[in-house]
A = this chain, B = another copy of it.
Protein backbone atom coordinates (compact mmCIF):
# COMPACT_ATOMS: atom_id res chain seq x y z
CA UNK A 1 0.00 0.00 0.00
CA UNK A 2 1.24 3.39 -1.02
CA UNK A 3 0.29 5.08 2.27
CA UNK A 4 2.22 2.47 4.20
CA UNK A 5 5.33 3.35 2.20
CA UNK A 6 5.13 6.90 3.48
CA UNK A 7 6.16 5.77 6.94
CA UNK A 8 9.44 4.56 5.56
CA UNK A 9 10.63 7.80 4.03
CA UNK A 10 11.00 11.21 5.53
CA UNK A 11 8.39 13.88 5.08
CA UNK A 12 9.96 17.01 3.51
CA UNK A 13 9.11 19.17 6.48
CA UNK A 14 11.26 16.86 8.58
CA UNK A 15 14.49 17.83 6.82
CA UNK A 16 16.28 21.02 7.67
CA UNK A 17 15.85 24.43 6.07
CA UNK A 18 16.54 28.05 6.93
CA UNK A 19 16.00 29.19 10.53
CA UNK A 20 15.37 25.58 11.35
CA UNK A 21 16.16 25.98 15.05
CA UNK A 22 12.95 28.00 15.35
CA UNK A 23 10.97 27.52 12.13
CA UNK A 24 9.84 23.94 11.53
CA UNK A 25 8.14 24.37 8.16
CA UNK A 26 6.44 26.73 5.73
CA UNK A 27 3.27 25.96 3.87
CA UNK A 28 1.16 27.68 1.22
CA UNK A 29 -2.24 26.46 0.10
CA UNK A 30 -4.61 27.69 -2.57
CA UNK A 31 -8.38 27.13 -2.72
CA UNK A 32 -9.72 26.72 -6.27
CA UNK A 33 -13.06 25.71 -7.74
CA UNK A 34 -14.27 24.85 -11.22
CA UNK A 35 -16.63 27.21 -12.99
CA UNK A 36 -20.36 26.42 -13.08
CA UNK A 37 -20.03 23.36 -10.89
CA UNK A 38 -21.64 22.80 -7.50
CA UNK A 39 -19.28 23.11 -4.53
CA UNK A 40 -18.43 19.69 -2.98
CA UNK A 41 -20.87 20.26 -0.12
CA UNK A 42 -23.75 20.55 -2.58
CA UNK A 43 -22.69 18.17 -5.33
CA UNK A 44 -23.85 14.56 -5.47
CA UNK A 45 -21.35 11.72 -5.20
CA UNK A 46 -21.44 10.99 -8.94
CA UNK A 47 -20.68 14.60 -9.75
CA UNK A 48 -17.85 14.52 -7.22
CA UNK A 49 -16.43 11.34 -8.74
CA UNK A 50 -16.51 12.89 -12.21
CA UNK A 51 -14.75 15.99 -10.92
CA UNK A 52 -12.06 13.89 -9.20
CA UNK A 53 -11.34 12.24 -12.52
CA UNK A 54 -11.15 15.55 -14.38
CA UNK A 55 -8.76 17.03 -11.82
CA UNK A 56 -6.61 13.89 -11.82
CA UNK A 57 -6.43 14.03 -15.60
CA UNK A 58 -5.44 17.68 -15.54
CA UNK A 59 -2.78 17.00 -12.90
CA UNK A 60 -1.44 14.17 -15.05
CA UNK A 61 -0.45 16.81 -17.59
CA UNK A 62 1.52 18.89 -15.06
CA UNK A 63 5.28 18.27 -15.30
CA UNK A 64 5.92 18.93 -11.59
CA UNK A 65 3.40 16.22 -10.74
CA UNK A 66 4.89 13.42 -12.80
CA UNK A 67 5.14 10.39 -10.55
CA UNK A 68 2.39 11.72 -8.29
CA UNK A 69 -0.10 9.23 -6.87
CA UNK A 70 -3.86 9.62 -6.82
CA UNK A 71 -5.37 8.24 -3.62
CA UNK A 72 -9.12 7.61 -3.74
CA UNK A 73 -10.32 8.44 -0.20
CA UNK A 74 -12.95 5.70 -0.41
CA UNK A 75 -10.15 3.15 -0.60
CA UNK A 76 -8.31 4.20 2.55
CA UNK A 77 -8.77 2.66 5.97
CA UNK A 78 -8.88 4.60 9.22
CA UNK A 79 -5.20 4.21 9.97
CA UNK A 80 -4.16 5.43 6.54
CA UNK A 81 -6.29 8.54 6.91
CA UNK A 82 -4.77 9.18 10.32
CA UNK A 83 -1.31 8.82 8.84
CA UNK A 84 -1.96 11.33 6.06
CA UNK A 85 -3.40 13.78 8.59
CA UNK A 86 -0.43 13.45 10.91
CA UNK A 87 1.89 14.10 7.95
CA UNK A 88 -0.15 17.27 7.35
CA UNK A 89 -1.06 16.13 3.84
CA UNK A 90 -4.83 16.25 4.43
CA UNK A 91 -7.10 18.21 6.77
CA UNK A 92 -9.10 16.70 9.65
CA UNK A 93 -12.26 17.38 7.68
CA UNK A 94 -10.87 15.59 4.61
CA UNK A 95 -9.84 12.60 6.71
CA UNK A 96 -13.54 11.89 7.27
CA UNK A 97 -14.41 11.88 3.54
CA UNK A 98 -15.28 8.64 1.81
CA UNK A 99 -16.40 8.46 -1.85
CA UNK A 100 -15.99 11.35 -4.30
CA UNK A 101 -12.78 12.68 -2.80
CA UNK A 102 -9.17 12.06 -3.73
CA UNK A 103 -5.69 13.12 -2.72
CA UNK A 104 -3.07 13.79 -5.38
CA UNK A 105 0.35 13.58 -3.85
CA UNK A 106 3.72 14.35 -5.48
CA UNK A 107 6.39 11.71 -5.08
CA UNK A 108 8.38 13.93 -2.71
CA UNK A 109 5.28 14.83 -0.59
CA UNK A 110 5.95 18.54 -1.07
CA UNK A 111 2.82 19.01 -3.21
CA UNK A 112 -0.55 17.69 -2.03
CA UNK A 113 -3.87 18.40 -3.73
CA UNK A 114 -7.10 17.55 -1.93
CA UNK A 115 -9.92 17.14 -4.44
CA UNK A 116 -13.40 17.85 -3.06
CA UNK A 117 -12.52 18.98 0.41
CA UNK A 118 -14.53 22.14 1.12
CA UNK A 119 -13.47 23.42 -2.31
CA UNK A 120 -12.94 21.46 -5.50
CA UNK A 121 -9.19 21.84 -5.20
CA UNK A 122 -7.01 22.60 -2.23
CA UNK A 123 -3.42 22.80 -3.48
CA UNK A 124 -0.65 22.76 -0.88
CA UNK A 125 3.11 23.10 -1.00
CA UNK A 126 5.03 22.41 2.20
CA UNK A 127 8.77 22.56 2.89
CA UNK A 128 11.10 22.63 5.89
CA UNK A 129 12.33 25.81 7.52
CA UNK A 130 11.44 29.37 6.58
CA UNK A 131 10.67 29.35 2.82
CA UNK A 132 7.35 31.05 2.21
CA UNK A 133 8.58 32.57 -1.03
CA UNK A 134 9.79 29.23 -2.47
CA UNK A 135 6.70 27.26 -1.47
CA UNK A 136 4.55 30.03 -2.92
CA UNK A 137 6.42 29.91 -6.26
CA UNK A 138 6.19 26.11 -6.28
CA UNK A 139 2.42 25.94 -5.73
CA UNK A 140 1.82 28.98 -7.98
CA UNK A 141 3.57 27.16 -10.87
CA UNK A 142 1.49 24.01 -10.33
CA UNK A 143 -1.68 26.12 -10.09
CA UNK A 144 -0.90 27.96 -13.34
CA UNK A 145 -0.32 24.71 -15.20
CA UNK A 146 -3.55 23.16 -13.89
CA UNK A 147 -5.37 26.36 -14.81
CA UNK A 148 -4.52 25.68 -18.45
CA UNK A 149 -6.47 22.41 -18.39
CA UNK A 150 -9.38 23.31 -16.07
CA UNK A 151 -11.77 26.22 -16.00
CA UNK A 152 -11.45 27.94 -12.59
CA UNK A 153 -14.33 29.91 -11.08
CA UNK A 154 -12.96 33.45 -11.05
CA UNK A 155 -14.56 36.87 -10.73
CA UNK A 156 -12.70 39.95 -12.02
CA UNK A 157 -13.88 41.91 -8.99
CA UNK A 158 -13.74 39.26 -6.21
CA UNK A 159 -10.97 36.98 -7.48
CA UNK A 160 -11.17 33.21 -6.98
CA UNK A 161 -14.59 32.05 -5.79
CA UNK A 162 -14.66 29.61 -2.90
CA UNK A 163 -17.20 27.61 -0.89
CA UNK A 164 -16.55 29.64 2.24
CA UNK A 165 -16.42 33.46 1.90
CA UNK A 166 -13.34 33.58 4.16
CA UNK A 167 -11.27 32.17 1.29
CA UNK A 168 -12.60 34.33 -1.55
CA UNK A 169 -10.05 36.46 -3.41
CA UNK A 170 -6.59 34.97 -3.53
CA UNK A 171 -7.76 31.69 -1.97
CA UNK A 172 -4.36 31.78 -0.33
CA UNK A 173 -3.49 30.63 3.12
CA UNK A 174 0.17 30.75 4.02
CA UNK A 175 1.36 29.34 7.32
CA UNK A 176 4.60 28.95 9.16
CA UNK A 177 5.16 26.54 12.03
CA UNK A 178 7.36 28.17 14.65
CA UNK A 179 8.80 26.58 17.75
CA UNK A 180 8.59 29.09 20.60
CA UNK A 181 9.97 26.90 23.38
CA UNK A 182 12.26 29.67 24.64
CA UNK A 183 9.38 32.13 25.10
CA UNK A 184 7.52 29.42 26.99
CA UNK A 185 10.41 28.95 29.41
CA UNK A 186 10.86 32.70 29.98
CA UNK A 187 7.09 33.03 30.57
CA UNK A 188 6.51 35.43 27.65
CA UNK A 189 4.63 32.97 25.44
CA UNK A 190 1.05 34.01 26.31
CA UNK A 191 1.82 37.70 25.83
CA UNK A 192 3.32 37.05 22.38
CA UNK A 193 0.35 34.85 21.41
CA UNK A 194 -2.09 37.63 22.37
CA UNK A 195 -0.14 40.06 20.21
CA UNK A 196 -0.43 37.71 17.23
CA UNK A 197 -4.20 37.42 17.43
CA UNK A 198 -4.44 41.23 17.56
CA UNK A 199 -2.54 41.29 14.24
CA UNK A 200 -5.41 39.40 12.61
CA UNK A 201 -3.45 36.18 12.32
CA UNK A 202 -4.73 32.68 12.91
CA UNK A 203 -2.72 30.81 15.53
CA UNK A 204 -2.98 27.03 15.84
CA UNK A 205 -1.15 24.13 17.42
CA UNK A 206 1.06 21.52 15.84
CA UNK A 207 -1.85 19.46 14.57
CA UNK A 208 -3.95 22.16 12.91
CA UNK A 209 -7.31 23.72 13.62
CA UNK A 210 -8.48 23.24 17.18
CA UNK A 211 -5.20 21.77 18.42
CA UNK A 212 -3.40 23.41 21.30
CA UNK A 213 0.05 24.96 21.17
CA UNK A 214 1.71 22.00 22.90
CA UNK A 215 5.41 22.48 23.44
CA UNK A 216 5.23 26.04 22.11
CA UNK A 217 4.73 24.69 18.57
CA UNK A 218 2.57 27.25 16.81
CA UNK A 219 1.27 27.58 13.27
CA UNK A 220 0.86 31.21 12.29
CA UNK A 221 -1.20 31.98 9.19
CA UNK A 222 -3.02 34.83 7.48
CA UNK A 223 -6.73 35.24 8.22
CA UNK A 224 -7.86 37.35 5.28
CA UNK A 225 -7.56 36.38 1.64
CA UNK A 226 -9.32 39.35 0.11
CA UNK A 227 -8.19 42.91 -0.73
CA UNK A 228 -4.47 42.18 -0.84
CA UNK A 229 -2.24 40.60 -3.46
CA UNK A 230 -0.59 37.24 -2.77
CA UNK A 231 2.76 39.00 -2.46
CA UNK A 232 1.40 41.45 0.10
CA UNK A 233 -0.10 38.61 2.19
CA UNK A 234 3.16 36.66 2.10
CA UNK A 235 5.32 39.72 2.85
CA UNK A 236 3.19 40.64 5.86
CA UNK A 237 3.29 37.11 7.26
CA UNK A 238 7.03 36.86 6.63
CA UNK A 239 7.59 40.14 8.46
CA UNK A 240 5.67 38.89 11.48
CA UNK A 241 7.45 35.53 11.50
CA UNK A 242 10.80 37.32 11.36
CA UNK A 243 9.73 39.36 14.39
CA UNK A 244 8.75 36.15 16.17
CA UNK A 245 12.16 34.66 15.37
CA UNK A 246 13.87 37.70 16.90
CA UNK A 247 11.72 37.44 20.04
CA UNK A 248 12.41 33.72 20.35
CA UNK A 249 16.15 34.12 19.71
CA UNK A 250 16.27 36.81 22.39
CA UNK A 251 14.37 34.60 24.81
CA UNK A 252 16.82 31.73 24.21
CA UNK A 253 19.80 34.08 24.61
CA UNK A 254 18.36 35.45 27.86
CA UNK A 255 17.79 31.92 29.10
CA UNK A 256 21.38 30.92 28.41
CA UNK A 257 22.78 34.07 30.00
CA UNK A 258 20.60 34.47 33.04
CA UNK A 259 19.03 31.08 33.68
CA UNK A 260 21.36 28.58 32.05
CA UNK A 261 20.75 26.16 34.91
CA UNK A 262 16.98 26.44 34.46
CA UNK A 263 17.28 25.63 30.74
CA UNK A 264 19.65 22.76 31.50
CA UNK A 265 17.29 21.48 34.20
CA UNK A 266 14.30 21.50 31.86
CA UNK A 267 16.17 19.81 29.01
CA UNK A 268 17.74 17.23 31.31
CA UNK A 269 14.35 16.39 32.89
CA UNK A 270 12.66 16.08 29.49
CA UNK A 271 15.37 13.73 28.25
CA UNK A 272 15.27 11.68 31.47
CA UNK A 273 11.51 11.21 31.23
CA UNK A 274 11.63 10.40 27.52
CA UNK A 275 14.27 7.74 28.23
CA UNK A 276 12.72 6.25 31.37
CA UNK A 277 8.94 6.66 31.33
CA UNK A 278 6.98 3.46 30.70
CA UNK A 279 3.89 5.28 29.39
CA UNK A 280 3.89 8.48 27.32
CA UNK A 281 0.80 10.11 25.79
CA UNK A 282 1.12 11.79 22.40
CA UNK A 283 0.57 15.21 23.94
CA UNK A 284 3.28 14.67 26.51
CA UNK A 285 5.60 13.40 23.77
CA UNK A 286 5.14 16.69 21.93
CA UNK A 287 5.80 18.68 25.11
CA UNK A 288 8.95 16.77 26.01
CA UNK A 289 10.34 16.51 22.48
CA UNK A 290 9.78 20.24 22.11
CA UNK A 291 12.00 20.93 25.11
CA UNK A 292 14.58 18.46 23.79
CA UNK A 293 14.47 20.31 20.45
CA UNK A 294 15.23 23.55 22.26
CA UNK A 295 18.12 21.75 23.96
CA UNK A 296 19.46 20.63 20.59
CA UNK A 297 19.33 24.20 19.26
CA UNK A 298 21.10 25.48 22.39
CA UNK A 299 23.77 22.75 22.07
CA UNK A 300 22.79 21.33 25.46
CA UNK A 301 22.15 17.89 23.97
CA UNK A 302 24.50 15.46 22.21
CA UNK A 303 23.44 12.72 19.85
CA UNK A 304 20.36 14.07 18.09
CA UNK A 305 19.63 16.94 15.70
CA UNK A 306 16.53 19.13 15.31
CA UNK A 307 15.62 17.08 12.22
CA UNK A 308 15.87 13.85 14.23
CA UNK A 309 13.55 15.33 16.85
CA UNK A 310 11.14 16.55 14.16
CA UNK A 311 10.96 13.00 12.92
CA UNK A 312 10.21 11.71 16.43
CA UNK A 313 7.46 14.33 16.75
CA UNK A 314 5.85 12.75 13.70
CA UNK A 315 6.40 9.06 14.21
CA UNK A 316 5.22 9.11 17.84
CA UNK A 317 1.76 10.23 16.72
CA UNK A 318 -0.95 7.54 17.05
CA UNK A 319 -1.35 6.75 13.35
CA UNK A 320 2.36 6.43 12.66
CA UNK A 321 2.90 4.35 15.75
CA UNK A 322 0.18 1.90 14.78
CA UNK A 323 1.24 1.77 11.14
CA UNK A 324 4.78 0.93 12.23
CA UNK A 325 3.51 -1.92 14.40
CA UNK A 326 1.09 -3.02 11.71
CA UNK A 327 -2.02 -3.10 13.88
CA UNK A 328 -4.54 -1.06 15.83
CA UNK A 329 -3.59 -0.41 19.43
CA UNK A 330 -5.72 0.91 22.25
CA UNK A 331 -4.68 4.12 23.93
CA UNK A 332 -2.85 2.43 26.82
CA UNK A 333 -0.92 0.14 24.46
CA UNK A 334 0.01 3.12 22.31
CA UNK A 335 1.34 4.98 25.34
CA UNK A 336 3.44 1.95 26.24
CA UNK A 337 4.76 1.38 22.71
CA UNK A 338 5.45 5.11 22.32
CA UNK A 339 7.51 5.15 25.52
CA UNK A 340 9.43 2.06 24.44
CA UNK A 341 10.05 3.40 20.95
CA UNK A 342 11.21 6.83 22.13
CA UNK A 343 13.49 5.33 24.79
CA UNK A 344 15.09 3.14 22.13
CA UNK A 345 15.64 6.05 19.77
CA UNK A 346 17.12 8.28 22.48
CA UNK A 347 19.29 5.58 24.05
CA UNK A 348 22.53 7.32 23.06
CA UNK A 349 21.33 10.88 23.51
CA UNK A 350 22.95 12.63 26.46
CA UNK A 351 23.13 16.04 28.09
CA UNK A 352 26.20 17.69 26.55
CA UNK A 353 27.19 19.52 29.68
CA UNK A 354 27.08 17.72 32.99
CA UNK A 355 26.42 19.53 36.26
CA UNK A 356 29.42 21.57 37.38
Q: What is the interface of chain A, defined by CB distance below 8 A to chain B? A: 261-262, 264-265, 268-269, 271-273, 275-279, 332, 336, 339-340, 343, 351, 355
Shortest beta-carbon distance, A316 to chain B, in Å? 16
A261, A264, A340 — most chain B CB neighbours (10 Å): A261
Which residues does chain B contribute within 8 Å of A276, judged by CB atoms? 268-269, 271-272, 351
CB within 8 Å for A268 and B261 given contacts A340-B355, A355-B340: no
Task: Point out the residue from B261, B278, B351 that lies within 8 Å of A264, measured CB to CB.
Answer: B278
Task: Point out the residue from B269, B340, B355 that lies within 8 Å of A273, measured CB to CB.
Answer: B269
CB within 8 Å for A268 and B277 given contacts A340-B355, A355-B340: yes
Which residues does chain B contribute within 8 Å of A332, judged by CB atoms? 261
A-B contact pairs, 20 of them (CB 8 A): A261-B278, A261-B279, A261-B336, A262-B279, A264-B278, A265-B277, A265-B278, A265-B279, A265-B339, A268-B277, A269-B276, A269-B277, A272-B272, A272-B273, A272-B275, A272-B276, A273-B273, A276-B351, A278-B355, A343-B355
Main secondary structure of the interface of A (DSSP, over half): helix
State in angstroms the CA–CA spacing of A261 and B271 once bound together: 20
State in angstroms the CA–CA spacing of A265 and B277 once bound together: 5
Task: Point out the residue from B269, B278, B355 that lies within 8 Å of A268, measured CB to CB.
Answer: B278
Which residues does chain B contribute within 8 Å of A268, judged by CB atoms? 276-278
State in angstroms the CA–CA spacing of A279 and B261 once bound together: 8
A261, A272, A278 — most chain B CB neighbours (10 Å): A278
Shortest beta-carbon distance, A279 to chain B, in Å? 4
Which residues does chain B contribute within 8 Å of A262, judged by CB atoms? 279
Q: Are B277 and A272 in contact (CB under 8 A)?
A: yes
Shortest beta-carbon distance, A71 to chain B, in Å? 36
State in angstroms the CA–CA spacing of A336 and B340 once bound together: 30
Which residues does chain B contribute within 8 Å of A275, judged by CB atoms? 272
- Taking A262-B279, A269-B276 as given, write out 5 further A-B residue pairs in contact, using a Cβ cutoff of 8 Å, ordered by the A residue number: A261-B278, A268-B277, A272-B276, A339-B355, A340-B355
